[in-house]
Each structure stands twice: as structure tokens, then as C-alpha cells.
Structure 1
């Protein structure tokens, strides 16, 4: 294949709008670049970069500092994600008590986010009503759009779900998530990879 090949790994949800926006801008600046895009869970993304299947990854901390270097880009907080017109749209802040009786789309039990969300609900005396468990952040968007339920996710992921016509509001108790662009530790990035790193960071920092 002609041109400078760049491998990018990102969670599934970021491959709908974020990565395409970054790729578009990179090619405006250097049309010789061509791309191989890998997607999956945060763990999948780390493995793609570690094993050389991707040059750069988009993820969130923690990452193993013995294996990766990264550029801090943006932070996210907890939000509740729901369809347009949902009753929760009338609230400025959503708490576990507000989720009583709602069907939830949740990340699978091995994810820390799952345990945090469910523990918060149970602490408030609300037993979670799980309708669907998904194995990667962002997969919940399609189920929410289909009317199956609502979800608690982070604000960066929620902004990437805008193309589904979904809405979100801040959710407490909250947490802080640190999103980064990362690569193999000690690797010297070429000019094209430094450009790609910067444009991925731009797209992550400023969602459309």
C-alpha cells in the first residue's frame, strides 16, 4: 500500500466520529498518510498497541507505565445517558434515587465502572434493574436508542453518542476519568505519528 501507514486503536464508540474526524484532518495536512483502524474494549486497544498492531491508541487511565507512554488529553465525569424526550431530561442533576424503576444498560461485571455504578445504587437503597450488559463502553448507545433502557457512562463517551440522538445529564456520585493518546513506551514517533497523535488529541478534546 502506498503512503505512510498509521495504525490507530480506539474503543468502538470513538470509531464512529472521533477517529474519522482526526483522520480527515491528518489527511488535510498530509495526504500521503493511510490508516489501519483497530477497535474493541479498552483492554483490546492496549493489546493492539502493545503487540504492534497499532501505532497509537485512544484510551483512559490507568495504563501500565512500564509498557506505555501517553499524552494526557481530557477528563470526563459521570453522566446518565438516555433517549431524547425521556423524563430525566427535565433534571439538571441525576442521582441513584432518580433511576428507581428504570431499566439499565450496563458494562459487564469485570469492568470497574460496573461495580462503582451498582454500589452507588445499592447504597441509596435502589436495586439495579439490569436489562442488558455490554462488554465495551459505547455499545450501550444502540440499546438506549432502541428504547431498551438508560445507562450511566462518562461524559466523553456520551458526547460521542450524539449521532444516536441521545441526551445526557450529570450523575452523582461522580468519578473522574482521564483520557489519553498513548503508544509503546520508549518508541520514537515519526513526524507522521506525531501529527496523528496531535490530531487525535484535538478530536478527543473537542468532540463534534
Structure 2
């Protein structure tokens, strides 16, 4: 029985024809190579080489063995290549879903970090409504979903991502523009643009008024936060929106005003209960959580982060 180390040394001597050449090829000392060759020949009862003028010539028996040794090395090379491809992500696919508010700015920033670590990883991104996340995960269409709302479902597990705040956004030149903060009572004096309050995501936005027992009228309803921002930028009203949609100056042309009343909310990563997460998925969750927590109210002011993003 030959060990892999003995196979490696015998092959190196056959290729180079000298002990010194084999030592350089394997980056070890020549005496160690010589001792291992002699030990292998003695223990197996086979003569691998004939020595002539300091050179090593394979015997006829060694030629037969050499073919099998090369076969072993071919399999090792194949294994090494497979491992390398897995390390680069070539043979894998990351399938992620996200609600629109997180997909606009946060997900691309996390994906940029993923790409640096796994340059060949295939990535599939789906923008989902909250209610679509259930089938997406349970039917195996994706690995995880970034969500701004936690569902009560026996087939899903939820892991915390980060906390966020709501902001009032107004178009440049609006009479509220330039202010640092605004109250809920002041917000409802202007035409409001927003998401249907019956929508799971819309309920987050509506709670600020419900808690303060304020009546309001959404004059224009839109499904996605990016559409809301575009309508506000066009001067058609003001809106209450989450900080992640407009983080890092992602939507120029609107100004963010902190809302006096508490507006903190939580975000989550949803996965299928009992599912085994790949290293790629775990790294994506880690990157997304890091990006979003950098904007948490307790760690950094979102308004400051947004203003810095606009200056870049």
C-alpha cells in the first residue's frame, strides 16, 4: 500500500529524473526525497528506478505503475478544480427574494460584497410582495427573502435583519423643505402619496397616523416606494417612507425630514423552516444585515447617512 505522499514523491522523481529536481518540484529537502524513495522500494519490494550518473530512470515495473499514478493525479487535479470552482461560486446559484423597499438600495450593496467573495456565483434576484414570499420559499423557488414584515406561518422561520425608521419626504422647493423634522399632524395637512394601508407594507406606513388618531387621505396610491419617490419628486404631494428605500442618497430630488413621533420598525430574513442554508446564502444574509444595521437609528442617523450619500 502506497500513501499519497509516496505517490507524490515517486511521480516527482519520474518527472524530473533526479532527486534534486524532485526536491525543488515539491519544495522539500533532497535527503528527505532520497530516504522516502528507498523506504518505498524496500517496503513494497519493488525497484522503481535505476541509478546512472546521478540520474534516476524508471524500471519497466515503474512504467506500469506510473500510468496508474498519473490516473490518481488526474483525479486529484479534477477534485482540486471542483473545489476551486465551488470556492468561486461557479457551480452554485444564490436565489434571493426581497420586498421592494429593501431591494432598491440595500440588496445591491450586499450583492456587491457577495461578488467580491464569490466572483463566479450565479445570482437570481426576485422582487416580491410580502404575500408572495410564502410560495417563493415553500415551493423551493428561492433560498431566502428580505422582508419588512413578519408573517405568522408554520413553514417559515424569520431572522432579524435590522431596525429602521420612517421619514417624511418632500420635493425640493416645498414649504417643508429645509426643515430637520416634522410632526404627523403637520404631514396630514398636505396631499399624501403612499401605499394602500391594507397592504402589509402599507400598514407600517399607516401606523404613525393610527397611533395618533389622525385622519388622513392618500390622494395617490402607488405599489412601490420608488414610484412614491418619483411622484413626490414631481411635486404631486409628500409621503411617509422607510429609510432603506432612500438610503445613501439613492433618490435625489427629494428631501428627508425626521418624523417627531416614534416610527421604528423591524426587518427580517425569511427562510423555509428546516432548510439547510448554503455558505453563499449565509454570507448574503450577513452582508445584507451589515449594510442595513449600519443605518440603524441607534448606530447612525439615517438623515446624516442620506445626506452624505447625496454629496458623493
Q: TM-score, normalised by structure 2?
A: 0.58
Counterpart of 1:175 in 2: which secondary structure? coil
Distance 1:172 1:49 in 2: 37
The higher relative CO (CA closer than 8 Å, separation ≥ 6) is in 1
TM-aligned CA distance change 1:94 to 1:47, over 3 Å: farther
How far the C-alpha of 1:26 sits from its partner, in A, is 0.6
Structure 1 residue 72 corresponds to structure 2 residue 160? yes
Equivalent residue for 1:110?
198
Structure 1 residue 21 corresponds to structure 2 residue 109? yes
The match for 2:120 among 22, 29, 32 is 32
Pairwise CA RMSD of aligned residues?
A: 2.6
Structure 1 residue 132 corresponds to structure 2 residue 220? yes
| Equivalent pair of 1:6/1:33 in contact (CA under 8 Å) | yes
TM-aligned CA distance change 1:137 to 1:88, over 3 Å: same
The match for 1:152 among 240, 261, 281 is 240
Cα deviations by residue, 1:156-183 (Å, 9 ceiling, x for unpaired) = 3342673343221222433321112221
Counterpart of 1:61 in 2: which secondary structure? coil
Counterpart of 2:96 in 1: which secondary structure? strand
How far the C-alpha of 1:35 sits from its partner, in A, is 0.8
How far the C-alpha of 1:51 sits from its partner, in A, is 2.7
Q: Quick check: which one's strand share is greater?
A: 1
Distance 2:271 2:113 in 1: 20
Greater Rg by CA: 2
How many residue pairs match? The answer is 204
| Equivalent pair of 1:57/1:183 in contact (CA under 8 Å) | yes
Q: TM-score, normalised by structure 1?
A: 0.83
Structure 1 residue 183 corresponds to structure 2 residue 183? no
How far the C-alpha of 1:73 sits from its partner, in A, is 2.2
Q: Quick check: which one's helix share is greater?
A: 2
Distance 1:183 1:55 in 2: 7
